[in-house]
């Protein structure tokens, strides 16, 4: 498979400049994952779907928001209200991660907008720790399981941000650096944060970033410390920019190129895949570069807004957030 894209009109594949729709025509897809020819796609207020050579099938019903497929082919679905559901048999049966309900701050999780339910925004895995599951919750924080989702801990207690501490709990994406043990990276409603000790302490790193509402984050799997982040003006990330760092976020520069938009109406999807850098936009455009610094070129155009993208078994890069049924209907009509 090539690049898998979740859009306001189903799931698409981009391969060698050619795009084709894989399934879920007419559905708003907020998150995607792929592994060994299977695509797992999330449709808010509807459920989790599997797309493969046999077609498409609903495998989990509910308000599905984020997903991942583990190295052992375990399916993980993150929902609203914030919860992780997992399947060890390709979606035939599911286990709810009940221990999340026992976390110390769980009763305090609340999203500012009605219906005020927190939701899972990202799911990832720590390289070298095959049983790990790393989760970002808006609004809830960073969660870590070391046993495939059975038990959980919060990685928020040691964050010392004074009056802004509550904003850090507004986690949009959290990822490990696959080339640096112990390094975790997070984008939040209050900017970018990094940890070099496995999330025991965090540092806000905003040198060079002028927009504080950071949404999407991806880590170069081939270059230690190289990151791309998108950021915009307040929710939902309008009038956005893309930022690039070579030093794990200690400093940033705006990513510009003659082929790229000067600004993005909505923060774009940013990711690394196939030894390249990628940007996918709300206008359906897909840009690619061999290196982040460019040169960039337009390599694909879809007839729908792009919400998420992934390749192989890597994590999905996404701009999805809390969506109301009315907003989704408007986006797909």
Q: Is residue 330 part of a domain?
A: no
In-domain check, residue 327: no
Q: Enumerate residues 6+ apart whose C-beta is below 8 A from 216.
A: 172, 173, 187, 229, 230, 267, 268, 269, 270, 317, 318, 319
Q: What is the pLDDT of residue 160?
A: 44
Cβ 297 vs Cβ 259: under 8 Å: yes
pLDDT at 161: 42
Within 13 A of 27's CA, how many CA atoms are on the CB side? Answer: 26
Whole-angstrom Cα distance, residue 177 to residue 171?
17
Largest distance between two CA atoms of the chain: 53
Q: What stretches of the chain show up as alpha helix (H) in DSSP?
A: 165-168, 325-332
The whole domain housing 184 covers 3-317
Whether 328 maps to a domain, the answer reads no
**pLDDT tens string for the chain (333 positions)?**
789 999 999 999 999 889 999 999 999 999 999 998 999 999 999 999 999 999 999 999 999 999 999 989 999 999 999 999 999 999 999 999 999 999 998 998 988 887 889 999 999 999 999 899 999 999 899 999 999 999 999 998 655 444 455 556 889 999 999 999 999 999 998 899 999 999 998 999 999 999 999 999 999 999 999 999 999 998 888 999 999 999 999 999 999 999 999 999 999 999 999 999 999 999 999 999 999 999 999 999 999 999 999 987 567 777 655 455 656 555 554
Query: Cβ distance 121 to 66 under 8 Å?
Result: yes
pLDDT, residue 112, reads: 82
Question: What pLDDT is stored for residue 329 in this prediction?
Answer: 59
35 within a domain of the structure (yes/no):
yes
- Sequence-distant (6+) residues with CB within 8 A of 102 are none
Dihedral (Cα; 191, 126, 142, 229), 10-degree rounding = 20
Beta bridge partners of 75: 69, 87
> How far, in Å, are 89, 117, 225 from residue 59 at the CA level?
11, 23, 37
Q: pTM value?
A: 0.94
Helix, strand counts (H, E) of the chain? 2, 30
DSSP letter string over 71-134? TT--EEEEETTTEEEEESSTTSS-EE-GGGGGSTTGGG---SSTT---EEEEEE--TT-TT-EE
Report d(CA 102, CA 14) in Å as an integer. Answer: 42
Residue 50, both tokens: 């599997």
Give the count of domains, the chain: 1
| Rg, the chain, Cα only | 18
Nearest to 126 by CA among 148, 154, 156, 105: 148
CATH number at residue 190: 2.130.10.10
Examine residue 167 and state whether it is found in any structural domain, yes or no. yes
> In this structure, how many other beta carbons lie within 10 angstroms of the beta carbon of residue 105?
12
């Amino acid at each position: 498979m090539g690049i898998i894209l979740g859009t306001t009109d189903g799931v698409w594949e981009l391969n060698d400049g050619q795009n084709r729709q894989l399934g879920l025509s007419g559905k708003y897809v907020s998150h995607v994952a792929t592994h060994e020819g299977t695509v797992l796609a999330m449709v808010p207020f509807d459920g989790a779907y599997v797309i493969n050579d046999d077609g498409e099938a609903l495998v989990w019903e509910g308000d599905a928001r984020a997903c991942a497929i583990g190295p052992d082919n375990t399916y993980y679905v993150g929902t609203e209200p914030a919860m992780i559901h997992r399947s060890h048999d390709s979606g035939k049966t599911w286990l709810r991660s009940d221990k999340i309900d026992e976390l110390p701050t769980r009763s305090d999780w609340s999203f500012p907008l009605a219906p005020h339910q927190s939701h899972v925004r990202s799911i990832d895995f720590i390289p070298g720790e095959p049983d790990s599951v790393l989760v970002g919750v808006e609004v809830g924080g960073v969660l870590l399981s070391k046993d495939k989702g059975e038990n959980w801990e919060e990685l928020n207690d040691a964050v010392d941000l004074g009056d802004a501490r509550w904003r850090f709990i507004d986690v949009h994406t959290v990822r490990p650096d696959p080339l640096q043990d112990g390094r975790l990276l997070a984008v939040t409603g209050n900017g970018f944060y990094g940890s070099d000790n496995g999330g025991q302490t965090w540092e806000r790193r905003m040198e060079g970033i002028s927009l504080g509402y950071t949404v999407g984050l991806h880590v170069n799997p081939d270059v230690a410390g190289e990151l791309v982040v998108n950021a915009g003006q307040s929710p939902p990330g309008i009038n956005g920019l893309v930022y690039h760092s070579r030093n794990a976020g200690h400093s940033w520069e705006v990513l510009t190129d003659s082929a790229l938009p000067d600004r993005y109406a909505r923060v774009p999807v940013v990711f690394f895949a196939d030894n390249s850098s990628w940007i996918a936009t709300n206008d359906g455009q897909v840009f690619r570069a061999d290196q982040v610094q460019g040169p960039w070129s337009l390599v694909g155009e879809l007839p729908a807004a792009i919400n998420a993208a992934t390749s192989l078994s890597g994590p999905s890069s996404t701009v999805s957030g809390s969506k109301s049924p009315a907003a989704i209907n408007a986006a797909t009509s």
